[in-house]
């Protein structure tokens, strides 16, 4: 079937997923009309000449695209109504829990695809039909390195994602410090650079999180522009802290577990698609808090309204202690490694094309 694809190609989460979907379509020798959202930026990705040439060919086909052919789009609900086709299937990462009238309208005017049962149930509650298509492990950019990153036996915790209220980063770090701060047996690596902030603002946020104090076993890392560097970062840990209050999937956390890292995971939202008691130490949510941060989530806007999931600090610390025991028993999370077989982009693209075919 001939169809158009309308996606961003850049280092963001949307861009990373777009590239993985496109790479699977390239492996299938698919003929597509490619429409890109924003500037194309492939600098984060390992060069693949054949793939890049195929992207150029698909881009060229867009000039001869017929609007009678369907379109697959990966984008925010905000901005989803623009389409090169009469029939559009939209995959989006929904992070909140209270769809607005604008979001409901966008959902009803697209053949909606969501990435978790949590999001699907939220949209069904407001009479918006959606299709569930989970994301997958990117085996082109990420792999186990088997490298030893430190000379001692410290247990390394990682926390990832751009620094923001939604992801509970400040609370995670402050809670971790109460138990493990300045203890040489443990180390916390924070890859939290937010490209929406200036360098000065990023560093100010990090200092504020530590309350002006210094901890020799807490490190804030600079932005890593290449997936190869980020792969090293993920491989360098023993435990990933997956405690965001709202996610459409949680790519760094999921990828870490697929690489065999242990995880302390909030048992909520999209995390429940892949985190189980066998592959993660689960922390039950303790309640909710308003989503609004006056930056990315503004009260009263037409999009991104509602609340996020919170957690109890003592429960989180207890889960970290349990994760330490798991690391001491076996550094490799074998159940985590199995996720790569369950969640792969062949299955993801099969499901996407099934949705498009059934419009």
* Residues 209-220 pLDDT 10s: 999 999 999 999
Burial status of residue 242 (CB atoms within 10 A of its CB: 0-12, 13-18, 19 or more) = buried
Pairing mode, if any, of strands 262-266 and 111-114?
Answer: unpaired
* Token pair 């592959």: residue: 279
Q: Which CATH architecture has domain 155-342?
A: 3-Layer(aba) Sandwich (3.40)
User: Which pLDDT value is given to residue 34?
Assistant: 98
pLDDT value at residue 208:
96
Per residue in 182-229, pLDDT (tens digit) is: 999 999 999 999 999 999 999 999 999 999 999 999 999 999 999 999
Q: Which of 146, 133, 190 has its CA nearest to residue 337?
A: 146
Tell me the pLDDT tens digit for each residue of 132-184. 999 999 999 999 998 999 999 999 999 999 999 999 999 999 999 999 999 99
Domain extents in the chain: 3-136+344-357, 155-342
Torsion of CA 114, 116, 117, 122, to 10 degrees: -60
What does the pLDDT read at residue 332? Answer: 98
Tokens at residue 246, please? Answer: 């709202």
Indicate the length of the chain as a whole number: 359
Can 3-136+344-357 and 155-342 be said to share one CATH topology? yes
DSSP type of residue 269: G
**287-290 and 307-310 as β-strands: parallel, antiparallel, unpaired?**
antiparallel
* CB 126 within 8 Å of CB 112: no
Question: What pLDDT does residue 334 have?
Answer: 98
Short-list 181, 209, 179, 219, CA closest to 319: 179
Q: How far apart are CA 98 and CA 113, in angstroms?
A: 17
How confident is the model over 46-75, as a mean pLDDT?
97
Residue 19 pLDDT grade (very low, low, confident, very high; cuts 50, 70, 90): very high
Residues in Cβ contact with 206 at an 8 Å cutoff, skipping those fewer than 6 apart = 163, 190, 192, 220
Answer whether residue 269 shows pLDDT above 90. yes
Question: 358: pLDDT confidence band, cut at 50, 70 and 90?
Answer: confident
Beta strands in the chain (DSSP E): 3-7, 32-36, 71-74, 88-91, 111-114, 131-132, 155-160, 186-191, 218-220, 239-242, 262-266, 281-283, 287-290, 307-310
Say how far apart CA 323 and CA 200 lie, in whole Å.
34
What pLDDT shows up at residue 2? 85
Question: Does the pLDDT value for residue 359 go beyond 80?
Answer: no
3-state secondary structure of 38: coil
Q: What is the pLDDT of residue 264?
A: 99
DSSP character at residue 284: -
> If DSSP codes are grouped into helix, strand and coil, which group holds residue 307?
strand
Phi-psi region of 345 (alpha: psi -120 to 50; beta: other; left: phi over 0): alpha
pTM: 0.97
C-alpha R_g of the chain: 20
pLDDT tens digits for 27-50? 999 999 999 999 999 999 999 999
- Measured CA to CA, the distance from residue 323 to residue 120 in angstroms comes to 31
Mean pLDDT of 275-303: 97
Of 144, 118, 126, whose CA–CA distance to 266 is shortest? 118
What is the distance between the alpha carbons of residues 265 and 282, in angstroms, rounded to a whole number? Answer: 5
Residue 1 has pLDDT above 90, yes or no: no
Comparing C-alpha atoms, which of 221, 273, 212, 213 is closest to residue 242? 273
Class of the CATH-defined domain 3-136+344-357: alpha beta
Q: What is the pLDDT of residue 180?
A: 98
At 120-135, the pLDDT tens digits run 999 999 999 999 999 9
């Amino acid at each position: 079937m001939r169809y158009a694809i309308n996606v961003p190609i850049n280092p963001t989460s949307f861009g990373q997923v777009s590239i993985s979907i496109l790479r699977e379509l390239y492996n299938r020798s698919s003929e597509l009309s490619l429409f890109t959202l924003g500037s194309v930026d492939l600098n984060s990705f390992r060069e693949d000449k054949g793939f890049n040439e195929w992207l150029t060919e698909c881009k060229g086909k867009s000039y001869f695209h017929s609007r009678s052919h369907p379109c697959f789009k990966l984008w925010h609900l905000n901005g989803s109504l623009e389409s090169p086709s009469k029939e559009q299937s939209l995959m989006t990462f929904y992070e909140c829990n209270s769809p607005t009238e604008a979001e409901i309208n966008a959902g009803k005017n697209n053949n909606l695809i969501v990435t978790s049962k949590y999001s699907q149930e939220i949209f069904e509650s407001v009479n918006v039909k959606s299709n569930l298509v989970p994301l997958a492990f990117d085996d082109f950019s990420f792999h186990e390195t088997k490298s030893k990153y430190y000379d001692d036996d410290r247990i390394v915790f990682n926390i990832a994602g751009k620094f923001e209220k939604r992801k509970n980063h400040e609370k995670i770090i402050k809670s971790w410090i109460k138990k493990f701060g300045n203890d040489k047996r443990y180390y916390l690596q924070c890859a939290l650079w937010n490209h929406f902030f200036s360098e000065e603002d990023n560093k100010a946020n990090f200092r504020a999180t530590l309350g002006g104090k210094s901890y020799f076993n807490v490190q804030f890392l600079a932005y890593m522009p290449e997936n190869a560097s980020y792969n090293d970062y993920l491989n360098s840990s023993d435990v990933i802290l997956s405690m965001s209050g709202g996610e459409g999937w949680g790519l760094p956390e999921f990828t870490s577990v697929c690489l065999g890292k242990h995880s302390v995971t909030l048992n909520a939202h999209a995390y429940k698609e892949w985190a189980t008691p066998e592959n993660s130490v689960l922390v039950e949510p303790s309640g909710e808090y308003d989503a609004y941060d006056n930056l990315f989530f503004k009260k009263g806007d037409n999009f991104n309204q509602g609340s996020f999931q919170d957690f109890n600090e003592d429960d989180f610390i207890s889960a970290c202690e349990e994760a330490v025991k798991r690391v001491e028993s076996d550094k490799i999370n074998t159940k985590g490694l199995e996720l790569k077989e369950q969640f792969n982009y062949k299955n993801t693209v099969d499901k996407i094309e099934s949705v498009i075919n059934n419009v």
